[in-house]
A and B are shown apart, each in its own frame.
Chain A
Amino acid sequence: MIEIKELKKSFGDLPVLKGMNLTIPSGQATGIVGPNGAGKTTLIKTILGLVKPDSGSIRVNETLLNGNWNYRKDIGYMPQVARYPENMRVHELFSFIKGLRNQEPVFEKELIEQFALESELNKPLRTLSGGNRQKVGATLSMMFNPDILFFDEPTAGLDPRSSHKFKERVKEEKANGKTVIITSHIMSELEQLVDHVIFILDGNIRYYGTMKALLEESREDRLEAAIARMMGDDSPAESAAAEKPVQNYSNTATEILTF
């Protein structure tokens, strides 16, 4: 469970998060969408403790974040860009992170098998293709069996087969009751993986609710069209009309919503 209250963050003069309120219950699969620079990455980084908020509070599994670090043992994070020390071998990276976390991996073998990484284990990380490095990142994020999983643009560098395997794995994690949070620009992918959508625009949450409700309210049958409509791709008058019912809906019908 992640609870965020009145979260504010500015970089210099530039406000990035403008008083966000958000509750993500345990076991929910959530997609975070929004245009570039809307604050998605900052939001995730703040929850991970990489970025310190100016004001507001974050609780992860009832732990209030105040520079502490132990709460992160329940979190697995797969970054958007996977770059590792060039001379390190894959198996060395795994054992390094194991020692760092001081945890025994639960799914190490299983994930290596699933992502077909056996043949890569002895190679230095610089020789790995981008896709394989992404898979290493995915393995690292899931092998300690954390409750909360963050994926930042996970399938961007994956070939269709790996991407398919990755999605299957995420679905498994979801079925096992994990909290899954994904940011992505690929809407079709989110349609497959998540059932709740957070739409961030300009440092605020514009919409938070189920995917189904979003599609119904925006009278679109694809997420991409619904989001594009919210981003204001269409004419101002039309988009104003489209925004309103979405807002109304989200204020009344979604019980997890806290604007």
Chain B
Amino acid sequence: MKSQTLHILSNEWKTLLRGKWVIGYGLIFLMLTDSLLRFGGGGAEALLSLSNVMLLFIPLVGMIYGILYIYQSREFVELLLTQPIDRKVLYWGLFLGISTPLMAAFIIGSMLPLGWHGILILDGSASAMVLGLGGILTLIFVSLGFVLGLKFYDDRIKGFGFTIVIWLFMAILYDGLVLMLVFTFGHYPLERFVIAVSMLNPIDLARIMVMLEFDISALMGYTGAVFSRFFGSNLGIFTAGGMLAIWLAVPTWLGLRVFKQKDF
């Protein structure tokens, strides 16, 4: 079973690398990180800018990529499903086979300039955190794209629509909405509520972790500030990291469930 998962995985890697655009995606991050380090001042600032770009774009690219894969490989996946192979094995093979190259493209693309500018050694833990968070966000959002693609298998417009709406909501509107709620209900003790709410958004969690790591409350956004005050730096990172792990488990598990029960 394991060998078959690896067989599917390696096959996906091969075809994706040949498709070249995953490499292009990695190159974009390479050029971005390099120019940020060249022109953007010190390592910490460059890492922050990189994480801002990453928090915005990785979720969008990941989801679009996941859903596009389902839509484009429909016939092929159906052919694979008619082979004597467990659906579970196929799911893990396909999911990891397409999400890990994307993850690797980001990590390698950003890591190389960080390496040759010496930031990896200078700001080791911060670099590792930004790269790791980008990797985890890739996995989370590719699997969300998978779930959306499988749920709206025949209705692509709806599928893409939800993708864009979810991205807009999580990446852009969320913090503003929370701030608005807090502003409206400012007379009540809202700390716990705000913390609970920020845990519902993986992008927010990742952002909070970055901000806590760099210890810059001015850029933290509202949820980040509350988080930092409530937990302190280390415990905050720890809690947010744990929640992010749950965020990774839930969509992948949901995708597996849908994939196993689906009528193709």
Contact = CB atoms under 8 A, between A and B. Distances in A.
Of the listed residues B8, B74, B84, B87, the one surrounded by the most CB atoms of chain A closer than 10 A to its CB is B84
Interface stretch (B45-53, B75-83, B131-139, B218-226): B75-83
Contacts, number: 76
B85 interface: yes
Contacts of A231: none
B87 A69 contact: yes
Given A11-B263, A51-B263, A99-B4, A71 B84 contact: yes
A72 B76 CA distance: 17
Interface stretch (B11-19, B27-35, B182-190, B235-243): B11-19
A101 B85 contact: yes
B14 A72 contact: no
Interface residues of B, number: 26
Interface string A52-72: 100000000000000101111
B264 interface: yes
Given A52-B263, A79-B75, A100-B4, A87 B80 contact: no
A154 B50 CA distance: 52
Contact of B15 (A51, A69, A83, A88): A88
Nearest to A85: B15
B150 to A, nearest CB: 13
Interface string B67-110: 00000011110111111111100000000000000000000000
Of the listed residues B7, B14, B79, B263, the one surrounded by the most CB atoms of chain A closer than 10 A to its CB is B79
A73 B263 contact: no
Contacts of A190: none
B183 to A, nearest CB: 43
Interface string B250-264: 000000000011011
A50 B78 contact: yes
A58 B28 CA distance: 52
B264 A50 contact: yes
B73 A85 contact: yes
Given A45-B264, A77-B82, A83 B4 contact: no
A-B CB proximity, top 4 nearest: A73-B84, A83-B75, A72-B84, A87-B18
28 contacts: A11-B263, A45-B263, A45-B264, A48-B82, A49-B82, A50-B78, A50-B263, A50-B264, A67-B260, A69-B84, A69-B86, A71-B84, A77-B79, A77-B82, A79-B79, A82-B75, A83-B75, A84-B79, A85-B76, A86-B19, A88-B11, A88-B14, A92-B14, A99-B4, A100-B4, A100-B83, A100-B85, A140-B79
